[in-house]
Structures are given as C-alpha cells and as structure tokens.
Amino acid sequence: EAGVAQSPRYKIIEKRQSVAFWCNPISGHATLYWYQQILGQGPKLLIQFQNNGVVDDSQLPKDRFSAERLKGVDSTLKIQPAKLEDSAVYLCASSLDHLSYEQYFGPGTRLTVT
Amino acid sequence: AQSVAQPEDQVNVAEGNPLTVKCTYSVSGNPYLFWYVQYPNRGLQFLLKYITGDNLVKGSYGFEAEFNKSQTSFHLKKPSALVSDSALYFCAVRAYGGSQGNLIFGKGTKLSVKP
C-alpha cells in the first residue's frame, strides 16, 4: 500500500513570501492531520480534518496559516505571509478515521524562511 | 491538560547492550500511549502502542514498552541494541476532548548506539 505523499520535500523562501504544501493521504483514510515540527521539539498538531470537515484547528495561526481538504482526499497547507519562526518541518499524517489509534506519517516538508 | 515528558535529550548505548528510553505522561482518564521513531529526513514511523491489556507491549524491530500506571510511565526498551537503532524516538499520548485522535508528542530522545 502506498504511504502518505508530501511535496515539496524542501522549500526555502524569504520572510513575507507565501508558500503551499501538498499532502496525499493513504487511500481510504478519512482523517488527515497537519503537524508542525520545530527543530528540537516534537510535532505539534496544526489542524485535523475528518473527510472534508475541520475537526480541530485550535492551534493553527489563522492570521497566516490556512488549510483545505476540499474533496476529502488530498490537502493543502498554506502560509501567507511567512515569518522566520515558521521555519520547521511540516508533517502530514492520516488514519483510517478519527478513532483509529495508528497514524501514518509522510516524509515531511522542510521549510526554511530567511 | 495532557502532556508527555521525555527527560533525556540523548541516550548513548553500546551495541549489544540493553537500552531504555524514558517517557512519563499526564492525562485525564485512561491513556493511549505510543512510541514513534524518526530517521533522518524521514517521517515518523509507528513502533508500538498501549491501549489496554498487558502492561508489556511488544512492537516493531524488537522494541517493547512497559506501561506503569502508578508511575505514569511508558518506557521504551530493547534487550540488545543495534547500531541501526540510532534515531530520534518520540513518545506520544492521545488527547481527548474536541480533538479526538490527535497526538501530543514529547520533545524526543536521540538514541545513539555505538559499535
């Protein structure tokens, strides 16, 4: 079975620019998560989707971050405008549903903001 | 609030020796506990989980973890370490409330196994 796909793998932008990340979860997985992993820290949840609806976005900085999962399959996370502190690895994960215990993670997108 | 603590930034072990990576948790209600491993430039890989049942949980690559409710701990163990076990290990607890399903991670412990 194909794993969680993410692109791009690496991105370097200047502060105040915009950037978008793409995630394609495992086929049939209803729940999709975006995590932010800052160097030296564990991943932190940004947003959780159940199909195309948002379950939890309480830790998403909504003034600059947005995410969508329009058709309940793949998802896009956008940052506009980026700040230096947004430099991190952005991980996408999926699970069969929101009650599933096991989450499957993609390789991540490493963002550097200069 | 739910939280996970990994008190060691790094653990150094000689190949062939047993290893332990420590994790303690704080959660209201029964905890769902997980261990993930992260190799350089790769995503997190699931190792094992504790949901209910036996306190000793066996997982991938020969790893196991012991759930201790009285000490609120979930330490990761392996009887004989391999150089290839060198990686970053994360303990996680499942949160409850409005964010069902998402995980709260510790800051990670770097495991270094020397030949």
The pLDDT of residue A100 = 73
Cβ of A45 within 8 Å of Cβ of B102? The answer is yes
The pLDDT of residue B102 = 75
B92 touches chain A (CB under 8 A): yes
Query: Rounded distance, CA A58 to CA B100, Å?
Result: 13
The pLDDT of residue B101 = 63
The chain B residue lying nearest A90, using CA atoms, is: B43
For residues A71-104, one letter each, b for 16 or more C-beta atoms within 10 angstroms of the residue's C-beta and e for the rest, the string is eebebebebeebeeebbbbbbbbbbeebeeeebb
Three-class secondary structure assignment of B13-29: EECCCCEEECCEEECCC
The pLDDT of residue B29 = 81
The pLDDT of residue B2 = 83
Cβ of B99 within 8 Å of Cβ of A56? The answer is yes
- The ranges of chain A with pLDDT < 50 are none
The pLDDT of residue B96 = 63
Q: For every one of its 115 residues, what pLDDT tens digit does chain B have, with 9 covering 90 and above? A: 789 999 999 999 999 999 999 999 998 888 899 999 999 877 899 999 998 889 999 999 999 999 999 999 999 999 999 999 999 999 999 876 555 667 899 999 999 999 9
Minimum-distance CB partner of A48 among B99, B105, B107: B99
A53 touches chain B (CB under 8 A): no
